[in-house]
């Protein structure tokens, strides 16, 4: 089976079932497949060859869904690109992935026009939206005029299907390469984990270019014939209204998305009773925040999906029955994947409380980084792909991530792991969000700084914070410095950009 074949199968088995909803447009699975085929056949007619890369610089929309499946059904490799990237950053990816075709949202036309002459490998450009640009065909016109027959190409399950670029928070982004087989195995894993079935209605509010929303929810939802409700811009009260009005049964988002939804003043007026399961992941969530979330949503039907792009995304999961007693943990084993924590020599850690790096093994992991064998060899060892995330086991085998390898703080010879300190700070009712960073110190090597955004009309100083933390964590872990900010800088996945804070605040240490 291949990803495009999932759409064709739905068109045969549940042709009149609602497949995709976007704004005021609704499509049956037959109508979805017709549009996917029109795109596939046009790409092939204009020279797309099996294995060619097609970059997608697009926001969430019905056209994103049709284009993604149109690419892979034609035997192409879809390369979804972060729509928040600056043009030079996006241009790097277009060039690095050797894209033969680029599909872009109208808003990016000036940038594409500027970079076009430098992207000699790109042979075809298509716009996605209502605009009309000289020499560039619109995807909507292709859909209207393209052949709706199944495309004349055989896609093998071991053909490449996607290149997902990492967020690049510590350097140039790298492209994780996946096959149809990788993703079909992942779809079965996720469908069984979160109990997806044909009656589910999934709301896609997180970006579809991101591996989590694309591969944990869009593809598994298509696999079982769900209805996909696609939302373009994350506006918290709009998302709550969509859950209510579209009778959404499954929803996924990074922790920051749930935090913003919980801040909606009239949150309780929305009827969210249709939701069977919520999923959260893509960034760590403090234990206290998990408890607040379950209280606010009046539900314990949450899954923590704790993984990373190179794993499929794959990793570990925390089930609804464990949400309260294991709040803040990443979870344990997921079907079709093996996970472990490894020491610096690659040996599995079995002792509770010992820090190791999370690795995942199985048929969901990437083939490797595109055109980067050196980086591939650094992260894939003995069949495991390693995440760069550090974690600890508890007595029951649950894994809790404590830090990124590159973010661990060493102060006076002692290791400080961010999450333990952040979890303690989140217990303070004045705190809206917090993160811990290490700043260079002439005597201690590094010193611990807390960067905190407060709830409305609250004040907090370092003396009060240290007093609050005194009974909760060891003295050497307690921040010596405090910076109050309006909000933490995050990437589109909701991960805090700690490197940015370290750079901006590096001069706060008194010499």
Pinpoint the alpha helices (H) of 246-372: 255-262, 287-297
| Contact yes or no for 383/368 (Cβ under 8 A) | no
Q: Which two tokens stand for residue 312?
A: 């499929």
Q: Which residues, 6+ apart, have CB-to-CB distance to 335 below 8 Å?
A: 189, 192, 193
Q: Is the pLDDT of residue 169 over 70?
A: no
Asked if 231 and 238 touch (Cβ cutoff 8 Å), the reply is yes
Check residue 132 and give its pLDDT: 85
- The pLDDT value recorded for residue 417 is 86
What's the confidence (pLDDT) of residue 131?
Answer: 82
| Domain presence at residue 488 | yes
Phi-psi category of residue 397: left, alpha or beta, with phi > 0 → left and psi -120 to 50 → alpha:
left
Highest mean pLDDT among 40-44, 342-346, 504-508: 40-44
- Residue 114 within a domain: no
- 11-20, 167-176, 378-387: segment of lowest average pLDDT: 167-176
Contacts with 443 (C-beta within 8 Å, 6 or more apart), sequence order: none
pLDDT in tens, 308-331: 999 999 899 999 999 999 998 999
Residue 496 lies in a domain: yes
Q: Which residue has the tokens 């029955």?
A: 321
437 pLDDT tier (thresholds 50, 70, 90): very high
Q: Does an H or E element contain 126, and which?
A: strand 124-128
CATH number, domain of 449, equals 3.30.300.30
Domain assignment present for 416? yes
Mean pLDDT of the chain: 93
pLDDT score of 168 more than 60: no
Which tokens go with 78? 């879809």
Look at residue 140 and tell me whether its pLDDT is greater than 80: yes
Average pLDDT over residues 450-479: 94
By CB atoms closer than 10 A (0-12, 13-18, 19+), residue 105 is buried
φ, ψ at 332 (rounded to 5°): -140, -165
Residue 137 lies in a domain: no
Q: How far apart are CA 101 and CA 504, in angstroms?
A: 38
Q: What is the pLDDT of residue 509?
A: 82
pLDDT digits 0-9 by tens, 228-267: 999 999 999 999 999 999 999 999 998 889 989 999 999 9
Counting every residue, how long is the chain? 511
The answer on pLDDT for 286 being more than 70 is yes
Q: Give the model's confidence band at 171: pLDDT under 50 very low, under 70 low, under 90 confident, else very high.
A: low
Q: How confident is the model at residue 464 (pLDDT cuts 50, 70, 90)?
A: very high
Copy the structure tokens of residue 234. 């994350």
- Angle made by CA atoms 480, 483, 489, in degrees to the nearest 5: 125
Q: What is the mean pLDDT of the segment spanning 499-507?
A: 89
For the chain, the domain total comes to: 1
Does 213 fall in a domain? no
Place of tokens 């990074």: 254
Average pLDDT estimate for 209-227:
97
Residue span of the structural domain in which 471 resides: 408-508
477 inside domain = yes
* pLDDT interval class at 84 (50, 70, 90): confident
**Residue-wise pLDDT tens digits, 105-129:** 999 999 999 999 999 999 999 999 8
395-424 pLDDT, tens digit per residue, is 999 999 888 888 889 888 788 888 889 999
Percent of the chain with pLDDT over 70: 99
Phi then psi for residue 484, to 5 deg, are: -95, 125
Q: Is residue 182 pLDDT above 80, yes or no?
A: yes
Quote the Cα angle for 169-170-176, to 5°.
75
Q: How far is residue 313's CA from residue 279's CA, in Å, rounded to a whole number?
A: 14
Q: Does the residue 413 lie in any domain?
A: yes
């Amino acid at each position: 089976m291949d990803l495009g074949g999932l759409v064709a199968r739905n068109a045969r088995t549940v042709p009149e079932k609602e497949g995709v909803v976007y704004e005021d447009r609704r499509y049956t699975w037959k109508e979805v497949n017709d549009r996917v085929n029109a795109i596939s056949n046009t790409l092939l007619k204009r020279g797309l060859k099996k294995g060619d890369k097609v970059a997608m610089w697009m926001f969430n929309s019905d056209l994103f869904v049709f284009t993604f499946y149109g690419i892979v059904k034609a035997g192409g490799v879809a390369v979804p690109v972060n729509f928040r990237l600056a043009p030079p950053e996006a241009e790097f990816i277009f060039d690095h992935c050797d894209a033969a075709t680029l599909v872009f949202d109208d808003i990016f036309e000036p940038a594409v026009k500027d970079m076009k002459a430098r992207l000699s490998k790109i042979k075809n450009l298509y716009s996605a939206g209502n605009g009309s640009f000289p020499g560039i065909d619109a995807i909507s016109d292709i859909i209207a005029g393209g052949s709706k027959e199944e495309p004349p190409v055989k896609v093998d399950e071991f053909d490449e299907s996607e290149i997902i670029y990492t967020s690049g928070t510590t350097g140039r982004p790298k492209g994780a390469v996946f096959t149809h087989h990788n993703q079909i195995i992942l779809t079965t894993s996720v469908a069984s984990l979160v109990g997806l079935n044909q009656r589910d209605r999934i709301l896609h509010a997180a970006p579809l270019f991101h591996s989590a929303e694309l591969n944990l929810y869009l593809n598994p939802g298509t696999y079982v014939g769900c209805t996909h409700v696609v939302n373009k811009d994350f506006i918290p009260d709009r998302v709550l209204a969509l859950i209510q009005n579209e009778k959404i049964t499954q929803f996924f988002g990074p922790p920051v998305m749930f935090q913003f939804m919980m801040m909606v003043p009239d949150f309780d007026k929305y009827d969210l009773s249709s939701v069977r399961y919520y999923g959260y992941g893509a960034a760590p969530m403090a234990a206290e925040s998990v408890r607040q979330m379950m209280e606010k949503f009046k539900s314990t039907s949450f899954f923590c999906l704790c993984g990373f792009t190179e794993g499929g995304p794959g990793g570990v999961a925390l089930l609804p029955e464990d949400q309260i007693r294991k709040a803040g943990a990443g979870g344990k084993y997921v079907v079709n994947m093996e996970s472990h924590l490894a020491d610096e020599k690659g040996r599995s850690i079995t002792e509770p409380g010992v820090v190791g790096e999370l690795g995942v093994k199985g048929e969901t992991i990437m083939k490797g980084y595109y055109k980067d064998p050196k980086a591939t060899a650094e992260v894939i060892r003995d069949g495991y792909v390693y995440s760069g995330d550090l974690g600890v086991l508890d007595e029951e085998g649950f894994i809790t991530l404590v830090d990124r390898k590159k973010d661990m703080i060493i102060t006076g010879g002692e290791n400080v792991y961010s999450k333990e300190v952040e979890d303690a700070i989140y217990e303070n009712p004045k705190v809206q969000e917090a993160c811990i960073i290490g700043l260079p110190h002439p005597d201690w090597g590094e010193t611990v700084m807390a960067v905190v955004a407060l709830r409305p009309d609250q004040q907090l100083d370092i003396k009060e914070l240290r007093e609050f933390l005194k009974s909760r964590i060891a003295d050497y872990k307690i921040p010596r410095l405090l910076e109050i900010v309006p909000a933490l800088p995050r990437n589109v996945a909701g991960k805090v950009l700690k490197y940015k804070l370290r750079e901006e605040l590096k001069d706060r240490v008194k010499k």
